[in-house]
Structure 1
Amino acid sequence: MQLLSIETKEELVCIADLVNSIDGVGLPGEYFTSGSDYQIANNFTWCSSNYTSIGQNIAWISGEPSMTDFFGVEEDCVSVNLSLGQPKKNALRDVDCSAKKKYICEVPVPTTTKPPCLPYTCEKNQSLLDSDDYINPNASIDGALRISCGKMYYYSNLATTWQAAASACCQLNMRLVVFETVDQRNCFNKIFSIPGYGSNLNSIHLWVGFSDQYQEGVFTWCTSSRNIKITTNSLFFAGGQPDNAGNNENCGMILANTGAALNDGNCMANLRFACEGYVPDCTPICPSTCAKDSEPVIGRGFLWNLDNS
Structure 2
Amino acid sequence: MTVHVLVPVDRSSQSIAGLVYTLVSFPDATVTALHVLDSQHDAFAEVGSPESHDEAVRQAGERILERATEVGADYERTVETVLESGIPHRTIVEYTVEHDIDHVVMGSHGESPIVRPFLGHVSEAVVRRAPVSTTIVPESRSELVQRDLPGRILVPVDGSDQSLAALEYAVNRFPAGRITINHAVALPFEYDVEAIDGTYLESTVDTLTEHGEAILESARDTVEDDVVVETELSYGSPSRSIVDYATENDFDQIIMGSHGRPLPARIITGSVAETVSRRSTLPVTLVRGRPDGSS
TM-score greater than 0.5 by the shorter chain:
no
Higher helix proportion:
2
Q: Which has the higher contact order (CA 8 A, sep 6+)?
A: 2
